[in-house]
Structure 1
Amino acid sequence: MRKLVTILGLVSTNFVYAQQPADSLSPSVKRIPEKNELKYNLNESGSHFFKVTFLNQTWLRLNQSNPGTTVVGDPKDNTFDIGLRRTRIQLFGQINDRVLLYFQFGMNNFNFLNASPAFNTNGTVSNRKIQAFFHDAVAEYLVFKNKDYLKIGGGLTIVSGLSRFTQPGVSNIMSMDVPVFAQATVDQTDEFARKLSIYARGQVGPIDYRVAVSDPFPIQTNGATPPALGPNANFALKGQTKQLQGMLLYSFFDKESHQTPGYMTGTYLGKKKIVNLEAGFITQKKAVWHTGDTATDTVYRTMNLWSVAAFVDMPVNRARGNAINAYLGYFNLDYGRNYLRYNGLMNPASGTTQPIGGLSGTQGNAFPMFGTGQVIYSQLGYLFRQDLLGSNGTLMPYAQAQLGNYDRVNGSMGVYSLGLNWLIKGHNSKLTLDYQNRPYYIAQPVTGKLEEQGRRGQLVLQYQVFI
């Protein structure tokens, strides 16, 4: 009983101190410095540690629907929805001088529909309680002690090739969302851009490299009905081959962060001077198939994807905190003959009365996001001075453009976004208002190629909390 009284007394004392203004506390009261991370040191120096982070991105969205859109059976010209774009937990740490352990658990694209492939393709309602899953489970070994020359790892990981946006750090992206087309096989033969892989990565002088051998998942396990074998290429339902990918990056000034496996920072908010050139690729033999000269012939093709890009993220005025962020990339994407796939992020619609050329998922906010052809992607953002809004943070406006020339689409496809970040406390607490404008299409009756018919827009307000 005496121990209980003592504990209650200590708790009540701490509560009283917590309610007092900081300047009213006695000088003898020890102030605990504010922490900005949840980190447990495993040794005295803190070089060995284990850390936990939490991320939540909430969307409020108004969308102009593609023609023919239905929501749970009702036609909808416009939709308003609330959703969780990403909810994630990271657990990782440097266990000793050489070994890093990394896990990520969470869910994505969770709105009133549950937005699962099963719902969108055949109308069956899926279980809204099974969305969370392991995104990453990786162990990594540092070959040369205290040097980042060579790290060897394996597991379920986003370490890959093609580009920085194929493996983006989503807690610190400059825009509201990433260019998802760069995650080239997302939810087709991977698990939300993650693959079972073994890899090597490292930094040698100004060179940052990564190479990986991945074991792709069968397309039949992605939760959607696979498209039938036909004259246009799709991922093959038979056979299984390994995937090879890699990326090489040259840094002219500061080196990029190399702590967590794979993930590449979207913006350092002027804390670093980054000017990079990059080149990357993904290749897989017999990844796709289509019919040949007759409907009974089956032709297998190699998937070959590559890109080159330049990335700038640097301060303009270090004293005031102004910074610039810019990216320009060229993507050459060969998924096989006339491959094309629609996608709409956290799609707010469940069906359509106006199907387009045998393609699935064309409703809501979807557009032809993935396809055989070429894509130019660019973004530009400007960070205002750090004290622009006093203690309420600062602003960072941005613009994005995705220009695609796909073999199965007549003319160039342009998707454009304008946005404004209110960085209340950097990436830890920020509001983003984003407007996107996209095209919609019909299929030509003879050739089956897509012809643009008009444009639609969506407006999203996102609130991100990250610690």
Structure 2
Amino acid sequence: MRHTRYALALGGLLLTGTAFGQVIPPATGTAPPPATPAPPPTPAAPAKSAAYGPGMKINISPDGSKYLRLMLWTQVYARYTENNTGTLRAPNQPKESQVDFGIRRSRMVLIAQLNPRFLVYTHLGINNQNAVSGGVAPTTDGKKPQFFIHEAVTEYKVNKYLSLGAGLHYFNGISRLSSASTTSILPMDLPLTNFPIIETSDQFARLLGIYAKGRIGKFDYRLSMNDAYLTNQTSTPLSLGTTTAATTTTPAVSTGTGVANYNPQNTNHIYQGYFSYNFLEPEANLLPYMQGTYLGTKRVFSIGTGFLYNKDAMYSRSAGSAVNVTSAVTADPFANVATNKHDMVLLGVDAFYDAPLDTTSRTAITLYGVYYNFNMGPNHVRFVGAENPGYGASALRGNAVPQSGTGGVFYGQVGLLLPKNLLGPKARLQPYVAYQHANYEGLKTSDGSTKGVNIMDAGLNVLLDGHNAKVTLNYRPRPDFTNVNDVQYRPEITLQTQVFL
């Protein structure tokens, strides 16, 4: 009986083990392949910076119709300059050439819109600081440059065709480049000829007044009426002549030169306008700044014309006219010395073309040309040097060139955005050439012929992040007009870095 129980127990254990360890044979046919192992999880892609677009924008309303925008940019120069003849670097220290460093521009723009009809913006910053000039006393040193307001504007949108604004603004006339964006220009810098009255009757190419702007179909316009800033306040009618010294028997005599200068008594308004027609894609016109090159992102072909008019802006004394310099004359020369008043009339016509050439290689071309006719009174010529490395108040010091005057001016530029990947996946190359030719009637040689002004720039933009981060190398053989009968060309090599956020 006991043996029977042992047999039954052993049989139960064997049956249980068989049940748990049994392998069911596969179905007839080919055995299935082993399961594909699961792929490892894909690592997260590194964060990629988004395109910068129109600036740092802070939305005040959920739909973005109310916002605040901030734009910042700085352009820094490292430059070799062979100076104009007779340039000083410090008091009584002549300097033929030097390597110097400077801040061409460091600025910011604040824009606020509380609804689609109202806009307010402020533009401020510094310009042209180096160790020699551009400071509080710009002809003495470069320390503590003035941080000043470039623009302060309020604007109201009347309808889709018209907006009205007021304040210190940049809606200038004459040409496209007279309201150019300084962050997207093709060459290293703008030719100051596009701002013929800069820092005379305007405030650094801006004017205080009212303006109207708008677009009707493909036609864009901007018009303004402005106050003329008081200028040339140290000038008097005696400044318009040469004075011979008095003798024991004759008084001093002031003889007119027939050369016009800015009228310190000018209180008339300045009227400006610019009109353009876009044949291809429209351009943004919310702000006054006109694009220099789109780097192949748009197809733009625009022609335009503009003007600036200021009554009695200039004055002169006829060549050869003479007046005895008596105590009464020196006490009130405006009442006792006859002068001629001249209206300022500045005209321009230009064309701009910017388009991609090949979508695969992302090449693009930029072309621009403008012709100016300046009437600024007889024989007027003005010399200006941007971020001038020369010391003192001499108009011909440092890198000064004939910037404006009565006569005609042509300026043109061409740039080519080269194929992508020449410098790797990020950087792009954009070589350019710019050329300016002017005939100012005040630049006459000893035989009476007019001496032309020829200024050429050749350079290369290295675009690290479009216009937001770029480096520019520029070469200029600059004409030195110290001796108009023997104009010498001085080399000027500049490396500029620009960051725009």
Q: Using structure 1 for the length normalisation, give the TM-score.
A: 0.85
> Is 2:369 aligned against 1:328?
yes
Which residue number in structure 2 is paired with residue 380 of structure 1? 414
Q: Is the 8 A contact 2:261 2:380 kept in 1?
A: yes
Matched, 1:437 2:448: no
Classify the secondary structure of the residue corresponding to 2:283. Answer: coil
Equivalent of 1:95 in 114, 119, 122: 114
Identity of aligned residues (%): 35
- Amino acid aligned to 2:112: G
For 1:247, the equivalent position in structure 2 comes to 274
What amino acid is the match of 1:297?
Answer: A
Q: Does 1:263 align with 2:303?
A: no
* Cross-structure match for 2:218: 206
Cα deviations across residues 60-104 of structure 1 (Å, max 9, x unaligned)?
000011111111121111011100000001101322110111111
The amino acid that maps onto 1:430 is: K
Any conservation in 1 of the 2:131–2:141 contact (CA below 8 Å)? Answer: no
Shift of the 439–452 alpha-carbon distance from structure 1 to 2, 3 Å rule, reads farther
How far apart are the structure 2 equivalents of 1:30 and 1:172? 29
Task: Give the letter aligned to residue 369 of structure 2.
Answer: L
- Paired position in structure 1 for 2:4: none
Tell me the amino acid that sits aligned with residue 208 of structure 2.
L
Distance 1:328 1:242 in 2: 29
What is the CA–CA distance in structure 2 between the aligned matches of 1:291 and 1:50, rounded to whole Å?
52
On the 8 A contact 1:439/1:452 being kept in 2, the answer is no
> Structure 1: how far apart are the matches of 2:381 and 2:49?
54
C-alpha separation between the residues in 1 aligned to 2:232 and 2:419?
A: 50
In the other structure, the counterpart of 1:195 is 207
Instruction: Say which is worse superposed, 418-427 or 291-300, in terms of deviation.
Output: 291-300
Q: Aligned partners of 1:30, 1:66: CA distance in 2, in Å? A: 53
Matches within 5 A, 1:8-407: 34=50, 36=52, 37-73=55-91, 74-115=93-134, 118-120=137-139, 125=140, 128-144=143-159, 147=160, 149-220=161-232, 226=235, 228-230=239-241, 231-260=258-287, 262-292=288-318, 294-295=321-322, 296-351=337-392, 360-407=394-441
1:240–1:38 Cα change, 3 Å: same
Contact 2:202 2:228 in 1 (8 A): yes
Post-superposition shift, 1:393?
Answer: 1.3
| 2: CA distance, partners of 1:38 / 1:72 | 42
TM (normalized to structure 2)? 0.80
Q: CA RMSD in A?
A: 2.3
For 2:431 and 2:145, how far apart are their aligned partners in 1? 36
Q: What number of residue pairs does the alignment pair up?
A: 420
Q: Identify unmatched segments of 5+ residues in structure 2.
A: 1-40, 242-257, 323-336, 444-449
Among 468, 477, 483, which residue is 1:428 paired with? 468
- Secondary structure of 1:451's match? coil
Q: 1:47 to 1:388 in 2, by over 3 A?
A: farther
Amino acid of the structure 2 residue aligned with 1:384: L
CA distance in 1, matches of 2:366, 2:210: 32
* CA deviation string 1:334-388 (max 9, x = no partner): 1111111101110001148xxxxxxx42011111111110000000000112333
Q: Classify 1:429/1:190 alpha carbon distance in 2 versus 1 (closer, same or farther; 3 Å).
A: same
Tell me which residue corresponds to 2:37: none
Q: Which amino acid aligns with 1:423?
A: L
Asked whether the equivalents of residues 54 and 88 of structure 1 are also in contact (C-alpha less than 8 Å), the reply is yes
Shift of 1:291: 1.0
* Aligned residue identity for 1:338: N
Larger radius of gyration: 2
Q: Which shifted more, 173-182 or 451-460? A: 451-460
CA contact (8 A) 2:176 2:350 kept: no
How far apart, in 2, do the equivalents of 1:190 and 1:25 lie?
A: 61
